[in-house]
A = this chain, B = another copy of it.
Amino acid sequence: MANNLLKGKKGIVFGALNDMSIAWKVAQRAHEEGAEFVLTNAPIAMRMGEINKLAEACGNVPVIPADATSMEDIENLFDKTMEHFGGKIDFILHSIGMSPNVRKGKHYTETNYDFYHKTMDISAMSLHRVLKVAYEKDAINDWGSVIALTYIAAQRVFPDYNDMADAKALLESISRSFGYHYGVKKKVRINTISQSPVMTTAGSGVKGFDEFLAYANDMSPLGNADADACANYVLSMFSDYTRYVTMQNLFHDGGFSNVGVSEGVIDKFKQ
């Protein structure tokens, strides 16, 4: 599928670690649909990842490291990006999340509060920082579109999701709050996409993640949405077909969010 959906559009893609990342797929598909963009990730993530391969595959696009908790880095990112394009951009993908509490195996009821602050800083406030810098530098064209990836744990409890649930709730609130102000001032729209769980590098080591994927798949009439499908949906939200959608949390989950129980799950309770 390639329809020049994003022809002439310019943007920044945060968070492409490797080819399991949704951001990676978004970059690939955005390239196929005619967009130009800059890739960025945290310096440490870039060392682990293979972002340069992606940059090549997308036509040698610039890769600009930026720690999303550093104002200096984000300012540098926007300056370099606007210099590269000779002007403003049209879209941003925010796909950033990390919880030291999860990494260190701290149960939600035993949170370390320094870690908790870091989870919020990296996973939620980073969106505010990006938007604040963009707003100050007037870096986004009218009707530009910002998407942040989120998860339904912001609404309902998934016990193992830990403080990332709170971070996603905060992220979605920031998206609404900033969406109001940026919408009023510059018609920039800001939305979150609440995606099915996908097996990424982050998920692959988590105990019980396979069972969880199976459950989510069973509860979703269309099955779990995968990263490729998510990328397509992100593109539709970057395109001009969706101009008046803003401040929304959009479920891309095969129907999961509106299913109370599936026949398959009930079957598990038989015997």
Contact = CB atoms under 8 A, between A and B. Distances in A.
A208 interface: yes
A222 B208 contact: no
Given A156-B176, A170-B170, A254 B244 contact: yes
A251 B260 contact: no
A90 to B, nearest CB: 14
Interface in A1-52: 1, 3-5
A95 B93 CA distance: 33
Given A181-B159, A240-B232, A255 B247 contact: yes
A236 B218 CA distance: 26
B221 A179 contact: yes
A229 B109 CA distance: 28
Nearest to A209: B266
A109 B125 contact: no
Contact of A196 (B173, B189, B244): B244
Contacts of A261: 158-159, 212, 215-216
Contacts of A71: 113
A92 interface: no
A268 interface: yes
Given A166-B170, A242-B232, A251-B245, A259 B222 contact: no
A206 to B, nearest CB: 12
A174 B154 CA distance: 10
Contact of A252 (B125, B163, B245): B245
A121 B258 CA distance: 24
28 contacts: A109-B132, A109-B135, A109-B181, A117-B121, A153-B260, A155-B258, A157-B180, A157-B258, A157-B260, A165-B173, A165-B177, A166-B174, A170-B170, A180-B221, A183-B255, A187-B222, A189-B222, A212-B266, A212-B269, A216-B261, A222-B244, A233-B241, A236-B239, A245-B251, A245-B252, A247-B259, A248-B257, A268-B268
Given A166-B177, A169-B170, 8 more contacts: A109-B131, A157-B258, A181-B221, A196-B244, A211-B269, A232-B240, A233-B242, A244-B253
Interface of A: 1, 3-5, 71, 108-111, 113, 116-117, 120-121, 125, 128-129, 131-132, 135, 152-159, 163, 165-166, 168-170, 172-174, 176-184, 187, 189, 196, 208, 211-212, 214-216, 218, 221-222, 225, 229-230, 232-233, 235-236, 239-248, 250-255, 257-263, 265-270
Task: Sort A-B residue pairs by CB-CB distance and give the 6 closest, nearest first.
Answer: A183-B221, A225-B244, A169-B173, A156-B260, A236-B241, A3-B3
